[in-house]
Amino acid sequence: MLNIVLFGPPGAGKGTQADFLIKNYNLIHLSTGDILRSEIKEGTTLGLEAKKLMDNGLLVPDDVVIGMIKSQLEKNPTSNGFIFDGFPRTQKQAKELDKLLNQKSTSISVMLSLTVDDQELIKRLLKRGIDSGRADDQNENIITNRINEYNIKTTPLKDYYRLQNKLHEINGIGSVSEIANKLNQIIDNL
Ligand code: B4P
């Protein structure tokens, strides 16, 4: 199985690149952000609780997102592999993901980490806020909170995967296709 952690700060291009990877490698795309947004749209209790945190740029509790990923893994027992987009975001999430994959006799193959400077991230997200109306992309203070959450709680995960020789860092500035080509090369050389 090919299991990819697609990593990077908000606005780095994770969702954008995931669209190419799922087609090229026939993988299942699991984006915790997308799952949470669909819970919000359906007005579930989980969605209503998550919305308060997401609208302020804060992370949703670990147990909530771990439960979501667990149920998606159970729903897809025969997949070629998964792209984890926006998950894990904390050490606890990373450890639980390892346990869940271990139960399926598999593991993370690679972490693809997109690096983009804060100024570019803010520019991209404010633009998406205008184009899509996404609540957490509309306000620079909320975007800054998301970047801070990433720097404090999520960046340490690079070390978690670096220690396992799974971390690959890629410059996330450039055309979408240039970046997609770089990701493909890394995967093809695994
Ligand atoms: P996510 O949905 O994961 O949102 P994101 O970090 O903004 O990344 P996304 O994938 O959508 O954007 P992309 O970089 O592709 O998370 C949203 C919220 O959900 C979090 O703040 C948190 O509250 C909650 N959450 C989600 N997962 C969680 C977890 N595991 N634990 C706890 N809480 C969790 O693209 C951004 C923009 O850049 C797009 O408009 C795109 O068109 C543009 N872009 C992409 N590539 C580009 C390029 N090369 N050049 C120029 N623009 C580009």
Residues marked as catalytic: 14, 89, 128, 134, 146
Cα 148 to Cα 19: distance, rounded to the nearest angstrom = 26
What pLDDT is recorded for position 98? 98
What pLDDT is recorded for position 121? 98
What pLDDT is recorded for position 129? 96
Q: Which two tokens stand for residue 123?
A: 């520019």
What pLDDT is recorded for position 186? 98
Cβ contact 161:167 at 8 Å = yes
Mean local confidence (pLDDT), 110-118: 98
How much distance in Å is there from the Cα of 100 to the middle of ligand 1? 24
What pLDDT is recorded for position 123? 98
Query: Residue 16 corresponds to which amino acid?
Result: T
How much distance in Å is there from the Cα of 15 to the middle of ligand 1? 6
Closest CA to 110 of 161, 170, 159: 161
What pLDDT is recorded for position 122? 98
What pLDDT is recorded for position 90? 98
What pLDDT is recorded for position 83? 98
Q: Which residue has its alpha carbon closest to ligand 1 atom 8?
A: 10
- Residue 166 class from Cβ within 10 Å (0-12 exposed, 13-18 middle, 19+ buried)? middle
Beta bridge partners of 30: 84
Closest atom of ligand 1 to CA, residue 131: 40
Q: Domains in the chain, start-ordered, CATH in brackets? A: 2-181 (3.40.50.300)
What pLDDT is recorded for position 144? 96
Instruction: Kindly provide the b/e burial profile for residues 22-54, where b requires at least 16 CB atoms within 10 angstroms of the residue's own CB.
Output: beeeebbbbbbbebbbebbeeeeebbebbbebb
Q: Would the CB of 10 count as within 6 Å of ligand 1?
A: yes
Q: Would you tell me how many other CB atoms lie within 10 Å of the CB of residue 175? A: 8
> pLDDT digits over 49-81, tens only?
999 999 999 999 999 999 999 999 999 999 999
Closest atom of ligand 1 to CA, residue 88: 30
Cα 97 to Cα 101: distance, rounded to the nearest angstrom = 6
Closest atom of ligand 1 to CA, residue 32: 27
CA distances from 11 to 116, 121, 145, 158, 187 (A): 8, 5, 13, 18, 22
Mean pLDDT score of the chain, rounded to an integer?
97
| Helical (H) or strand (E) element with 113 | strand 110-115
> pLDDT digits over 9-51, tens only?
999 999 999 999 999 999 999 999 999 999 999 999 999 999 9
Cα 130 to Cα 117: distance, rounded to the nearest angstrom = 21
What pLDDT is recorded for position 55? 94
